[in-house]
Structure 1
Amino acid sequence: MKLQPLIEAVQTNCHIADARHAADLSLCTFLLQMREFYRWEKGLPLGAALSREAVGQWLARREAHWADLEDRDFVRLPVGEGSEFDAFDVAALNALLQPHGLVYGAGLVGPQRPVFFIAELDHLQTLDDGVTLQVCGREFARSLLAPPAALQGERIVLRRESMARWLWEKFEALGLKKLDGPFRAVSRAYGLEEDFHAALPRLLDEQSRTLVLHELGEHRAGRWLEPGWAAMRLALQDRRTELLVRAVRDHIADFTHTLPTLLAEGSAASIHFWFAGFDGLRRQLFPTLVDAYQAWCAGDAGRALQAHTGRGALHFTRLAEQVLALHAQHAAAAETHIEALLSSSQAVCRG
């Protein structure tokens, strides 16, 4: 199998998607992600010193390239002699690629915002509920936005290279802020400030499981949310509403599965790691959870966190039922009603 034409086609689709959606990012986030994308594209190690002039010239060329691609359709993917596949035909592509030790991924991470990648297949594992875990290694093509873990049907895809770069971005931000907080606790637990690169393999091994627990929670939530939830999300056009909807489902996954598992195991580093990602709209929807985390840090043996986790599971399950009911009632006109509900005080769990 000739891989280079496939890799180039996947990367073209990545560039098309980035051309359409890079402007959705804040300037700070965009620049941080582009710096790391530059390192990846040039084969540079994490934290490699960058020439401001070289990055600036590369960025100007990339934005010009995006301008040429923005209105193009996604290209079909060549696999084998004379065979081409739609960019979203993930199952068919993986059936052909997996015997060659490769994984292809494509999915939506926002309103009409796809991401694509192709990577080495490190290994496969069967998890609870019959879900297959695909662990990916080196990535040959990727979008600017590279989620380290994702649920795709009956598969969880874990991208170790993207996770490593995501962790490096958080570590770099930690150095800029000089503040205590959950990721500072993670840094201390693993000795990141002493030697990030030496600590990274253990951090990846242990905290990739936290990401997988979340995706398992998503899978279990999908048993009763789907197919209505996916249909509702596809109908959304407003980015903030889609992010709110995503936050609700994330909370269901984490309060019914991820956090109960971590609390039962007493995994301190993993609890800190989970809270390092508890921000933005997720935090706005459950502000008092931070107080429970601080009580846990102060030594309450997790009592407040356990209570908040139970209340959060109930609250966000009911909220999701209301969202589905609005979609069933109003169909194409439901988005305004969903946005109003999720932006109201009724959506906020007070613990």
Structure 2
Amino acid sequence: MNLTLLTRQIQHNCDLSDARHGGIYSICGLAMRLRDLYKWDHRMEPWQEHEAVRVLDWIGRREELWESMADAQFQPLTLADNDFDAFDSRAINAVLSPQGFFYGAGYAHSLKPTFFLAEIEQCQTIQERTVWRLGQELARDLLTLPALSQDDQVVLRTQAARMFLWDQIAYMANSARPALAFALGACCGLPDTSAAGLRRHLDTILQVHQTTYLRHELGELEDRVFERATWRRMLADFPHTPVELLIRTLKDVLADTAACGPIAHFTRQRDKAGLGFYMAFSGGLTPLLFGELKTSFETFMQTEDWNEIDRAASTVRHKAATYTNEVLAIYAAGNRKQDLSSTQKAIEETLYERGVMKRKPEITAEAP
């Protein structure tokens, strides 16, 4: 196997995906992703920073590369004297995995193609699912995904996860700090959230928090409320819309509250650190769906009453399932009418009424 050629082909596809789809991010969001990509490219620790002029020069060259790829196409991957379609991850990994490498390919938010190549650290079976734990990444794009499911398997990207986790800690809201301190105390006897302490214990934190990544992916694969095939069709039908964000959130909540998901796992194991880190890093879930669990956890930090967590998770799951069924009913009706535009509006209106989504304030011009 010509690893150099393969890595170059995959990186070409990564760069092309970034060139075509970088516009889906806000200016701030793109800057954050470029920052992570820069650190990966320079083999830096997540907390390390180079002077701004050096980073900006690299970003400028990256943008020039993207501009030069205006007419480029995704390249097939050459393995064992055969060319493989870049999205044929199952066939590619059948060749690669015996040689110690794993290839990732698929579609992320707003149907952005995403690719990576990494060294395999471990392969194991958990709950009848193959779980890959990866190490050094040889090629990657803008997306710092800590974990994913691919070909009905779970993939844990350790290098990306370290970067992702550090960013979550660095930009954590003040409201999440008590949960982080609680988890640190339970995990490594360090209820101190100083940068020095967090750097020292980052790998320990990741080791604990990777259970959340693993259990989330298992929960997502096993969820039957929001069938994966239907969910994927809806993602394709409503890319880069509030509906896409909403159905991703519903799927996440259903995964996290499933019997094999992280919350149930932490409850069974009485894992205070795991639950604490989960709550500290779950700020992206809408409060209306997640409010009961947040309130219960605030009490739990004082009482350590696991029954309360279990009850709250059940309430959250019931609410998420109810909203999911409403969305699916609207989607099915829209499919019968073959009217996606009206379907999107109907889903958004229903969720506005439920308070799951907030309307943007209308801006009216003042009379002269």
TM (norm. structure 1) is 0.89
SS of the residue aligned with 1:124? strand
Aligned positions of 1:112-123 closer than 5 A: 112-123=111-122
Corresponding position of 1:313: 317
The 1:19/1:342 distance shift into structure 2, 3 A limit, reads farther
Distance 1:102 1:35 in 2: 26
SS of structure 2 residue aligned to 1:158: strand
Number of equivalenced pairs:
345
Q: Does 1:214 align with 2:221?
A: no
CA contact (8 A) 1:85 1:93 kept: yes
Using the alignment, how far apart are the partners of 1:205 and 1:250 within structure 2?
21
How far, CA to CA, are the matches of 1:245 and 1:223 in structure 2?
12
Q: 2:206 is matched with which residue: 204, 207, 225?
A: 204
Select 2:167's aligned residue among 166, 169, 179. Answer: 169
- Look up the SS of the partner of 2:114 in the other structure: strand
Residue 149 of structure 1, aligned match among 139, 147, 150: 147
- Counterpart of 1:30 in structure 2 is 30
8 Å CA contact 1:156–1:215 kept in 2: the answer is: yes
Residues 40-59 of structure 1 correspond to what in structure 2 (within 5 A)?
Answer: 40-59=40-59
Query: Secondary structure of the equivalent of 1:121?
Result: strand
Counterpart of 1:345 (choices 326, 346, 354) is 354
Mapped to 2, the partners of 1:169 and 1:207 lie a distance apart of 14
**Partner residue in 1 for 2:138:** 140
Q: CA deviation at 1:253?
A: 0.9
Whether the 8 Å CA contact 1:251–1:282 is kept in 2: the answer is no
**Following TM superposition, by how much is the alpha carbon of 1:347 offset from its aligned partner in structure 2, in angstroms?**
4.6
Secondary structure of 1:140's counterpart equals strand
Counterpart in 2 of 1:294? Answer: 298
- State whether residues 296 and 303 of structure 1, in contact with CA within 8 Å, keep that contact through their aligned partners in structure 2: no
Distance 2:241 2:218 in 1: 25
Moved more, 236-245 or 100-109: 236-245
Aligned to 2:98: 99
Residues 247-289 of structure 1: CA deviation (Å, up to 9, x unaligned): 0011111112321221222211111211122223533543343
Partner of 1:322: 326
Aligned in 2, Cα 1:46/1:99: closer, same or farther, shift over 3 Å? Answer: same
Supply the distance in 1 between the matched residues of 2:71 and 2:230 (Cα, whole angstroms): 31
Q: Distance in 1 between matches of 2:135 and 2:65?
A: 28
Distance 1:151 1:222, change over 3 A: farther
Cα 1:47–1:98 shift into 2, 3 Å? same
Task: Report sequence identity in percent.
Answer: 27
For the residues of structure 2 that align with 1:321 and 1:178, how far apart are their CA atoms? 31
Question: How far does the alpha carbon of each residue in 1:143-197 deviate from its partner, in whole angstroms, 9 at most, with x for none?
Answer: 11121111123200000111111122223335x9698343344455444744445
SS of residue paired to 2:31? helix
Residues 183 and 273, structure 1, Cα contact 8 Å, conserved in 2 = yes
CA distance in 2, matches of 1:137, 1:290: 33
Q: CA, structure 1 residues 68+250, in 2 after alignment: closer, same or farther (shift >3 Å)?
A: same
Q: 2:241 aligns with which of 239, 261, 264?
A: 239
Q: How large is the Cα RMSD of the aligned pairs?
A: 2.5
Measured after TM superposition, the shift of residue 231 of structure 1 is 1.9
Give structure 2 stretches of 5+ with no counterpart. 358-368
User: Are residue 180 (structure 1) and residue 177 (structure 2) matched?
Assistant: yes
Q: Distance in 2 between matches of 1:169 and 1:42?
A: 17
Report the equivalent of 2:364: none
Matched with 2:229 is 227
The structure that has the greater radius of gyration is: 2
CA distance in 2, matches of 1:247, 1:215: 14
Distance 1:62 1:252, change over 3 A: same
**Contact 2:219-2:254 within 8 A present in 1 as well:** yes
1:306–1:265: structure 2 CA closer, same or farther, 3 Å change rule? same
Q: Distance in 2 between matches of 1:219 and 1:179?
A: 28
In 2, Cα distance between equivalents of 1:221 and 1:31: 34
Mark the runs of 5 or more structure 1 residues left unpaired by the alignment. none
**Which stretch has the larger CA shift, 119-128 or 164-173?**
164-173
1:116-163 per-residue CA deviation (whole Å, 9 max, x = no partner) reads 1000011110111x2100111100011111211111232000001111
